[in-house]
Structure 1
Amino acid sequence: MNPQPSKSRVVAIGGRMLSWIEVLGLVAIAIATVVAGIQEIIEMVSRREVGLGDLLLLFIYLEVLTMVGIYLQSGALPIRMPLYIAMVALARHLILDMKEITETEIIATSAAILILAGAVLLIRFGHVRFPYHLSNRDEGAP
């Protein structure tokens, strides 16, 4: 009998450990996002005012939670989700900091939003025009 564990067993154990670490990280992100959302709601209630920036921030939190949920369910992250979050974050930046930023920064931020929107459209077009099928390995088959 060989006293050393086989390479495939070590790889399997390492894979399981990384999966657990990944899940713990995702749970930590979800908890932190929920806490941040609750803090934002408490702040809005204490101010007795809800602004567009507050709503956009809550929307970002919701998108992060959706992204974590999709990743936990499918094990894959659609690249469009972070792009949506980035677009909303840039729009929020424009709305909240409009008075403090220069015209050049406004144009650059707007251009960045347009580039991200174009990237989303390109990705969607690519998925429709050039669909891909999961391989047996991607589906979890040995």
Structure 2
Amino acid sequence: MDKMYRKYGITSIKAVEHLVLMIIAIATIVAIGQEIVHIFNAGEVALADLLLLFIYLEVLAMVSHYAESGKLPIRMPLYIAIVALARYLILDMKAMDDWRIASISFSTLILAATVIVIRWGQLKLPYPRPKEDN
């Protein structure tokens, strides 16, 4: 009986997980569409628009990867954060004081260093492969 509840519980959680992934994917596609409409209405493509589209693209790639493998690589959200900080810096640099610019730049460097450390750890200290059941 306990195994049955566990099985239904896991199945229910997986169903909710897939539902939320679909909602995230649909919301991201809608946001991409809204940004494209904004670009056409403005009559020009700004660097901020391109960076925002890259952020949306990375979110879609992350959802796709998670849906396929069931694993969320920590590097993908870090890439999104780096691009978001770069976009913020580019858009608002003129209105920022020197300390804010320095802190955002330093934060970006910390995120980039984190990506390098994680990648190094994946290459040099990989997880042991799980044993396959026969």
- What is the TM-score with the length of structure 2 in the denominator? 0.96
User: Distance between the aligned counterparts of 1:134 and 1:84, measured in 2?
Assistant: 26
* Consecutive unaligned residues in structure 1, runs of 5 or more: 1-5
User: Distance between the aligned counterparts of 1:134 and 1:106, measured in 2?
Assistant: 43
Are 1:28 and 2:23 an aligned pair? yes
What residue in structure 1 maps to residue 7 of structure 2? Answer: 12
1:89-104 to structure 2, matched below 5 A, reads: 89-104=84-99
Q: CA deviation at 1:99?
A: 1.2
Segments of 4+ in structure 1 off by > 6 A?
A: none
State the identity as a percent: 51
Q: CA deviation at 1:132?
A: 1.5
What residue in structure 2 maps to residue 119 of structure 1? Answer: 114
Deviations 1:52-73 (A, max 9, x none): 0000000000000000000000
1:78 equivalent among 48, 73, 76: 73
What residue in structure 1 maps to residue 105 of structure 2? Answer: 110
Larger Rg: 1
Q: Helix, strand or coil: the match of 1:98?
A: helix
Q: CA deviation at 1:134?
A: 3.4
Q: CA deviation at 1:133?
A: 2.9
May I ask how many residue pairs the two structures share in their alignment?
A: 134
- What is the TM-score with the length of structure 1 in the denominator? 0.91
User: Distance between the aligned counterparts of 1:95 and 1:59, measured in 2?
Assistant: 15
What residue in structure 1 maps to residue 41 of structure 2? Answer: 46
User: Distance between the aligned counterparts of 1:21 and 1:76, measured in 2?
Assistant: 16
1:133 equivalent among 115, 128, 131: 128
Deviations 1:29-77 (A, max 9, x none): 0000000000000010111110000000000000000000000000000
Greater helix content = 2
* Consecutive unaligned residues in structure 2, runs of 5 or more: none
Quick one: which amino acid aligns to residue 62 of structure 1?
L
Quick one: which amino acid aligns to residue 76 of structure 2?
M
